[in-house]
Amino acid sequence: MKYIFVTGGVVSSLGKGLTAGALGALLEMRGFSVRIQKFDPYLNVDPGTMSPFQHGEVYVLDDGAETDLDLGHYERFTSGSLSRANSLTSGKVYEAVIAKERRGDYLGKTVQVIPHVTNEIKERIHKGGEGVDVLITEIGGTTGDIEGLPFLEALRQFQLDLGRENVLFIHCTLVPYIKAAGELKTKPSQQSVAKLREIGIQPDILVCRTEHPITAEMRQKLSLYCNVPAKAVVECRDVEDSIYELPLALAGENLDELVIQRLSLPAKPRDLHIWEDVVRKLKHPSHQVRIGVVGKYIELQDAYKSVYESIIHGGIANDCGVEIVRIDSEDLEKHGINQLQGLDGILVPGGFGDRGIEGKIMAVRYARENRIPYYGLCLGMQVAVIEFARHVCSLADANSTEFDPNTKNPVIDIMEEQKKVTEKGGTMRLGAYECLLQPGSHAFAAYGTDHIMERHRHRFEFNGKYREQFEKAGLRIGGTNPKTGLVEIVEVIDHPWFVGVQYHPEFKSKPTKPHPLFAAFIKAALKGKKIRAA
Ligand code: GLN
């Protein structure tokens, strides 16, 4: 078992998570089982309660863990699925240490960062990697952050415990270009590596984010000052079109080979055809569609990360390029639905709170009435139910009790079961639940099976009380939870493709294995476009 740690220096947002993901992909292609995990130095116990403005998307795992969006990159780049054990924050570490102290586990000793906090972190590294050949752990934040110190100290000890031959350090850094001087600068990298060495960590590989090629001379300089062999200075330039080019770009720099040699891993020859295939389809698609995503956090790059990625995967499945048009639902409320014209498909993603809800309902109505393929995820399914209730079932003030607690027609409501969960302290239905699909539904056709597992993150549910009324009016129940009977999928029958799902399929799509519903949605969008053109 081998361990790789990925740290970052100089600035945040260097794409450390993507580097970790792409390295994972490369190592899988060389025949190893790989797991990737994230340690975040902030004090929140998990990112579940953080605002999208602070943190981007909350990524949900099968076991219901609410994690950093980098775990989404890890799952998309590698084949395994991750668990609660693969996401750690300082908050969680201290929570565990303090609980042990209160229980008396430390036998009256003074509880300290070294060894108690660092031991807790080291234990989590061992646990996170159980059962795989290689564990890659990304450390969030930037070297020099106060919060990060206990983690880095734990990593230093970890290498001492297991030996240099089993533990490798990759440091991601920025090599900025100063226009006035017309040159790349190595000083920030020198200083961030110096910070690491102060703690006792010597990086083995330097991954340099840069906008310009790194010359041989620069490589020598980075090598000399950072104490890394020149061949282990890896250039990481911005990829042209897609993050999925990164495995190929890093293979071009021999990153996998460097890791394999340094850790003496018994590797298969390199075979990258799976990723070459993905990139070819992304760069030279035969078709093209425009998909509108109507949400509340549209201006934020990362709030719907997995949704955007999954749409692109749906394109890959259909040899189809996708232009994603981001539409602010409040804009629709203010300026009307003109923006929706010319779209081949409309998607409403998940969300919380009532801001922008009426705009989303306008988008649903537009898609339904104009027979444009519609795909609703979680909240996007709930607004579809509300729209159908109001305009097809004539339930005038139909709403979700989340947005109007006094609605006369609570078509979306908190169910009895969920109230019990809420009383126990949990507030949401989280993680993987079963769903039984209705033969004849779009969902059944897409999945090609009648039994699926999908990830959830929500409080409110389709109100079963209205089920018959909806079905009579032309809303098909495409899938239900076989244990609770809760409605998981709704579909408008008199429509080319209109599917709302109570779960989050975007957490289970990979470029190498596009999610069936995203693939079906893009297929329907493409078909509609061709019909309109004819
Ligand atoms: N706010 C809705 C609920 O809690 C939808 C949640 C979501 O879209 N993730 O049920």
pLDDT tens-place string over residues 266-309: 989 999 999 999 999 999 999 999 999 999 877 777 789 999 99
Tell me, in angstroms, the distance from the centre of ligand 1 to residue 518's CA: 20
Tell me, in angstroms, the distance from the centre of ligand 1 to residue 279's CA: 34
From the list 346, 421, 416, the residue with the least C-alpha distance to 380 is 346
Q: One-letter amino acid identity for 174?
A: L
| Ligand 1 close to Cβ of residue 402 (< 6 A) | yes
Tell me, in angstroms, the distance from the centre of ligand 1 to residue 429's CA: 10
Tell me, in angstroms, the distance from the centre of ligand 1 to residue 352's CA: 5
Q: For residue 402, which atom of ligand 1 is closest to its CA?
A: 1
Say if residues 437 and 444 touch (Cβ distance below 8 Å).
Answer: yes
pLDDT value at position 390?
97
| Ligand 1 close to Cβ of residue 379 (< 6 A) | yes
d(CA 230, CA 223): 5
Q: Which residues of 435-449 are buried (b: 16+ CB within 10 A; e: fewer)?
A: bbbbeebbbbebbee
Say if residues 279 and 272 touch (Cβ distance below 8 Å).
Answer: no
Q: For residue 428, which atom of ligand 1 is closest to its CA?
A: 4
pLDDT value at position 349?
95
Say if residues 514 and 409 touch (Cβ distance below 8 Å).
Answer: no
pLDDT value at position 426?
59
Say if residues 286 and 485 touch (Cβ distance below 8 Å).
Answer: no
Low-confidence stretches of the chain (pLDDT beneath 70) = 52-53, 417-426
If one counts every other C-beta atom within 10 angstroms of the C-beta of residue 206, the result is 27
pLDDT value at position 14?
84
d(CA 406, CA 388): 19
pLDDT value at position 56?
76
pLDDT value at position 313?
97
Tell me, in angstroms, the distance from the centre of ligand 1 to residue 349's CA: 10
| Ligand 1 close to Cβ of residue 351 (< 6 A) | yes
| Ligand 1 close to Cβ of residue 378 (< 6 A) | yes
| Ligand 1 close to Cβ of residue 457 (< 6 A) | yes
Provide the H-helix boundaries in 273-378: 273-283, 305-317, 329-335, 357-369
Q: For residue 380, which atom of ligand 1 is closest to its CA?
A: 8
Q: What amino acid positions are annotated as catalytic residues?
A: 378, 504, 506
| Ligand 1 close to Cβ of residue 460 (< 6 A) | yes
pLDDT value at position 420?
65
Say if residues 129 and 1 touch (Cβ distance below 8 Å).
Answer: yes
pLDDT value at position 323?
96
Q: One-letter amino acid identity for 149?
A: L
From the list 487, 430, 433, the residue with the least C-alpha distance to 458 is 430
Look at ligand 1, atom 6, and give the residue with the nearest C-alpha. 458
CA 21 to chain centre: 11
pLDDT value at position 337?
93
Q: What are phi and psi of 498, to 5 degrees?
A: -135, 105
| Ligand 1 close to Cβ of residue 507 (< 6 A) | no
Tell me, in angstroms, the distance from the centre of ligand 1 to residue 380's CA: 9
Tell me, in angstroms, the distance from the centre of ligand 1 to residue 483's CA: 21
d(CA 409, CA 297): 28
d(CA 435, CA 278): 30
Q: For residue 412, which atom of ligand 1 is closest to its CA?
A: 10
Q: For residue 378, which atom of ligand 1 is closest to its CA?
A: 8
pLDDT value at position 144?
87
pLDDT value at position 422?
53
* HSE of 334, CA atoms in CB hemisphere, 13 A: 7
pLDDT value at position 421?
59
| Ligand 1 close to Cβ of residue 304 (< 6 A) | no
Say if residues 221 and 206 touch (Cβ distance below 8 Å).
Answer: no
The pTM for the full model equals: 0.91
| Ligand 1 close to Cβ of residue 352 (< 6 A) | yes
